[in-house]
Amino acid sequence: MKEFARVVTVVLVGAFVLAGLCGVAQAQQKITAKIADILSPDHPHSLTMQFFADKVKERTKGRVEIQVFHSAQLGQTKDLFMGVQTGSIEMAKMPASFAGEWIPESKVWDLPYLFNSREDLWKVIRSNVGKKFVTEYYPKQGLVGVFWVDDGGRSIYASKPVRKPEDLKGMKIRVQPSDIQIQAINEMGGIGTPLAFGEVYLALQQKVLDGAENSPALYWTSKHWEVSKVYSLTEQFWSVSSFIANKKWWDGLPKDVQTEITAAGQDAEKYFLETYVALESKAIGLLKEKGVTVVTDVDKATFEKRIQPVYDNFVKKYPFGKDLLEQARAAKK
């Protein structure tokens, strides 16, 4: 009987040790994940993805490896968004202008002339407005917000200067797939025309589009200046995006790994701002060297007056519109 008890004890101890070793092995098991975007490898968003991946590897001591996919290698923006929702892609960049179809609160970021500077924009991102996206709006869609980036003040480029609303008459201007951006360009005097980013160069070259709008940095890295030589500093939008993760995948990560990835995201935001501002400050000079005409005497005051119906529609259409707009405006102060 004593011998039997001894054997049972040994077996139980061995089982507990084995379970403990399995737990340790599971905790230390290497985790791989994909992160994706549509932009070229030299764009600050792509550089920030790589920086983030390197930081995650460093912070987790090699336990987590993030594979970086740029240049639409895994598909266009909609493909990436659907991939994250279904879990076939763990992380990807989601522009606010695209997210509005599923997360209507995201439309606040598209409102024209709401932000006058990057400082304005990041005050709102880091306020309770930005926090609500991470804590409330994204989780409802099975998403986790990992970190934010912006794409600067977006201005119109075409084959001629755009100084006032009359200059935009009859011009098809490419915008992101956002009803607010479409309406804004229409109110400004043009014809807002949504089109996938990867199709813009050819559409400009073939005169299917009369122009487009984007930041100096993306205008430069996309080489749209080759087919559209006049850049007018209208700065109607300040573009913002989130790098998001699939919530089911995220919830399955060990808590300490979640903590380190979150910290790497904060590191990435700091790196992004330094990298983007550096490129942005050079982009205008680089464009001028390539023969681009940069128009600075834009009548922004008149454009701002013309887009008031966009705000009226936002407040009227969405139950949260008035309150969210007031919060965003308050956060800038």
pLDDT tens track for 104-157: 999 999 999 999 999 999 999 999 999 999 999 999 999 999 999 998 999 999
Which residues fall within 8 angstroms of residue 23, CB to CB, at 6 or more apart?
none
Provide the whole-model pTM: 0.88
pLDDT band for 75, please (50, 70, 90 cuts).
very high
**Phi and psi, residue 243, nearest 5°:** -90, 120
Altogether, the residues listed in the chain come to a count of 333
Task: Please tell me the predicted confidence (pLDDT) of residue 281.
Answer: 82
CA distance 4 to 64: 45
pLDDT band for 3, please (50, 70, 90 cuts).
low
309-329 mean pLDDT = 98
50-76 mean pLDDT = 97
Residue 33 β-bridge partners: 66
- Residues of the chain with pLDDT > 90: what percent? 87
Query: What count of Cα atoms within 13 Å lies in the side-chain half-sphere of residue 284?
Result: 13
Q: Which of 6-15, 134-143, 153-162, 251-260 has the lowest mean pLDDT?
A: 6-15
CA distance 277 to 281: 6
Give the gyration radius of the chain's Cα atoms.
24
152-165 mean pLDDT = 97
Among all chains, which residue has been given the structure tokens 């983030």?
52
Which of these, 118, 117, 115, 99, lies nearest to 107 by C-alpha position?
99
Q: How many CB atoms neighbour CB 213 within 10 A? A: 28
Task: Please tell me the predicted confidence (pLDDT) of residue 29.
Answer: 86
- Domain borders along the chain are 2-332
255-275 mean pLDDT = 97
Domain 2-332 belongs to what topology? Answer: D-Maltodextrin-Binding Protein; domain 2 (3.40.190)
Average pLDDT, the chain: 92
pLDDT band for 28, please (50, 70, 90 cuts).
low
Give the residue with greater pLDDT, 93 vs 22: 93
Task: Please tell me the predicted confidence (pLDDT) of residue 16.
Answer: 47
Question: CA–CA distance from 307 to each of 182, 190, 192 (Å)?
Answer: 11, 12, 13
H or E element in which residue 66 lies: strand 64-69
